[in-house]
């Protein structure tokens, strides 16, 4: 079977505004790092490499209000709709999320990309799927948008898989360099969803993402944070998969794995300080696919999130697509040699200490499939 690419050019027309962060007369306006080139250049490289022609390209549908309401409040949806109708405005604290004219419908289409990916994988039409769209979603919580994110695409897809497809358990494994606070907040007390986030310690958003944040009530143990130190490289990420993520998935036994796929852990990304190369993303994707093969029949969906270095990002994304599809193109990453020394460093003692802490927290409250401790 093939890999599906979920794509609609209209999601590239999302207006993310002309400034990121607080407003001030001393900040010269410009475009934000979450601009269209960061995603469109991925699609362009897929096209010119010949890989798009070997994927199953699927046009998405838009997410319905009913589907959005599974994770977001009605008041929040109305707020986004109103911002759209007023011609666009910032809808988050500190100026981090802008909804432009037409933004509500585009965000619905973006969320629908991940729903379409879930349908394609669960129907058996494809082996796996990647939803490539804007705007990103993993920071969005039930009642607010944060950090470029309007609707939480991965969380909406997880709830859809549970409620529409009747799955018992869904795992979210967020590899974006920034904490997956949205899934944590939305599924905080829900043992049907295992929310795992591998992120840069003390990155954005601040004050969340600690190993001690494990859920509560019946959801205790079903939220796992692995905050890695800035500068962590491929070895630390793969050790994290081996020691924390894979055992947690083994205990949880998901029916589907959803990967909010941020590529901002890339070594030149302007929004984070991690050290992953295209080879690193290739290895990380393979490790997550192996987890899916062993625990849920290979059912895995990647949903695009961050990644903002326009030159390196397409090569990092291509590595993910090549690994998912098992097709290696003739494209060679011209940045690979420059990144080799830092990105191939062994796990450092302070990185291993962070993994030790995350492993201990997971073992103290393992996410058992039964939902009973």
The backbone torsions φ and ψ at residue 167, rounded to the nearest 5 degrees and listed phi first, read -70, 155
Catalytic residue among 14, 35, 72, 139: 139
- Residue 362 near residue 243, CB atoms below 8 Å: no
pLDDT for 93 equals 62
CA distance 112 to 31: 26
pLDDT for 298 equals 98
The backbone torsions φ and ψ at residue 135, rounded to the nearest 5 degrees and listed phi first, read -80, 165
Please choose, from the candidates 182, 157, 186, 179, the residue with its C-alpha nearest in 3D space to the C-alpha of residue 170.
Answer: 157
- 370 in helix, strand or coil? coil
Residue 107 CA, chain-centre distance (Å), reads 15
Q: What is the pLDDT of residues 332-358, one digit of tens each?
A: 999 999 999 999 999 999 999 999 999
pLDDT for 32 equals 83
Q: What is the pLDDT of residues 149-188, one digit of tens each?
A: 999 999 999 999 999 999 999 999 999 999 999 999 999 9
Helix axes 103-122, 74-85, angle to 10 degrees: 130
For the whole model, what pTM was predicted? Answer: 0.96
pLDDT for 94 equals 59
Which tokens belong to 152?
């939480």
pLDDT for 95 equals 59
Handedness of CA 133, 139, 141, 143 (dihedral sign): negative
- DSSP of 172-230: EEE-SSS--HHHHHHTTT-TTEEEEEEEETT-SSTT---TT----GGGTTSEEEEEEPT
Domains observed in the chain: 3-364 (3.40.800.20)
pLDDT for 220 equals 98
139 tagged catalytic: yes
| Cα Rg, the chain, nearest whole Å | 19
Please choose, from the candidates 152, 199, 156, 195, the residue with its C-alpha nearest in 3D space to the C-alpha of residue 175.
Answer: 199
- Identify the segments of the chain with pLDDT beneath 50: 373
Q: State which H helix or E strand residue 145 sits in.
A: none
Which tokens belong to 266?
């890339």
CA distance 116 to 113: 5
Helices (H), the chain: 37-49, 65-68, 74-85, 103-122, 153-163, 181-186, 234-240, 246-252, 278-296, 313-325, 336-343, 349-364
217 Cβ contact partners less than 8 Å away, ≥ 6 residues apart: 189
């Amino acid at each position: 079977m093939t890999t599906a690419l979920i794509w609609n050019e209209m999601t590239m027309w999302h207006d993310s505004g002309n400034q990121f962060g607080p407003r001030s007369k001393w900040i010269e306006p410009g475009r934000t790092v979450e601009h269209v080139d960061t995603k469109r250049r991925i699609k362009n490289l897929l096209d010119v490499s010949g890989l798009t022609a070997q994927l199953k390209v699927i046009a998405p549908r838009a997410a319905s209000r009913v589907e959005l309401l599974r994770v977001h409040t009605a008041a929040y949806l109305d707020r986004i709709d109103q911002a759209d109708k007023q011609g666009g405005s910032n809808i988050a604290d500190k100026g981090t999320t802008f909804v432009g004219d037409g933004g509500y419908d585009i965000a619905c289409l973006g969320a629908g990309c991940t729903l379409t990916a879930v349908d394609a994988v669960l129907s058996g039409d494809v082996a796996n799927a990647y939803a490539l769209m804007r705007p990103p979603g993993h920071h969005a919580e039930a009642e607010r948008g944060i950090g470029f994110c309007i609707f939480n695409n991965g969380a909406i897809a997880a709830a859809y898989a549970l409620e529409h497809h009747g799955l018992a358990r869904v795992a979210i494994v967020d590899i974006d360099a920034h904490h997956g606070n949205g899934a944590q907040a939305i599924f905080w007390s829900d043992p049907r969803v295992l929310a795992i986030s591998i992120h840069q310690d003390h990155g954005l958003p601040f004050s969340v993402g600690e190993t001690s944040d494990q859920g509560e009530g019946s959801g205790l143990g079903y939220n796992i944070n692995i905050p890695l130190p800035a500068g962590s490289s491929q070895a630390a990420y793969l050790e994290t998969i081996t020691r924390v993520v894979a055992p947690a998935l083994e205990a949880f036994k998901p029916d589907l794995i959803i990967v909010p796929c941020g590529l901002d852990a890339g070594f030149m990304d302007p929004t984070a300080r991690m050290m992953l190369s295209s080879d690193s993303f290739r290895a990380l994707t393979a490790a997550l696919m192996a987890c899916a093969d062993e625990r849920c029949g290979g059912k895995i969906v990647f949903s695009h999130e961050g990644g903002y270095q326009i030159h390196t990002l397409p090569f990092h994304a291509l590595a993910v697509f090549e690994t998912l599809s098992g097709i290696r193109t003739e494209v060679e990453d011209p940045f690979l040699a420059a990144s080799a020394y830092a990105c191939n460093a062994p796990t450092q003692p302070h990185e291993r200490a962070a993994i030790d802490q995350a492993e201990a927290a997971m073992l103290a409250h393992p996410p058992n499939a039964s939902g009973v401790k």
